[in-house]
Amino acid sequence: QVHLVESGGGLVHPGGSLRLSCAASGFMFSDSAMSWVRQVPGNRPEWVATISSGGRLTRTAEFAKDRFTISRDNFKDTVYLQMDSLKPEDTALYYCARCPHFQTGCVPDRDQWGQGTQVTVSS
C-alpha cells in the first residue's frame, strides 16, 4: 500500500524558506506522478504542484509560481517542495500525494496522501 512520510515543516518568518521532503514506499515511485497538496484544518484541500514520474514536467498553482518548486529524486524515492518567499497565507498542513497520471491540479483521494507536515509562517 502507498506509504508517504512528509518532513521539513516548521515555523518560519514571512519571507523565509523551507524545503519539504516526502519519502515514498509501497509502490513503484518512478512510475507515479506526485503532487503536493495543502490544507488548513476545516478547509478544502488546495493543490500546490504536480511533477511527472520522470521529473521532466511540472505544474504549479498560480499562488506558488515563482516561489515554490517541486522536484524529485527517483533514486531516493523522494519528492521535494522548495518554498521561498513564504507568506502567512501559506500556513497549512502540507501533504504529498500519489497521482496515477500526470495531471494539472491532481488531488487524489486521501488514502494516497501522507500524514502531512505543518508549515507555519508567522512573525
Amino acid at residue number 107 = V
Report the 10 Å Cβ neighbour count for 1: 7
- The pLDDT tens digits along the chain (123 residues) read 899 999 999 999 999 999 999 999 999 999 999 999 999 999 999 999 999 999 999 999 999 999 999 999 999 999 999 999 999 999 999 999 999 999 999 999 999 999 999 999 999
Distance, in Å, from the CA atom of 59 to the CA atom of 57, rounded to the nearest integer, reads: 7
Report the 10 Å Cβ neighbour count for 51: 26
Instruction: Please name the residue that has the C-alpha cell 523551507.
Output: 18
Distance, in Å, from the CA atom of 81 to the CA atom of 49, rounded to the nearest integer, reads: 9
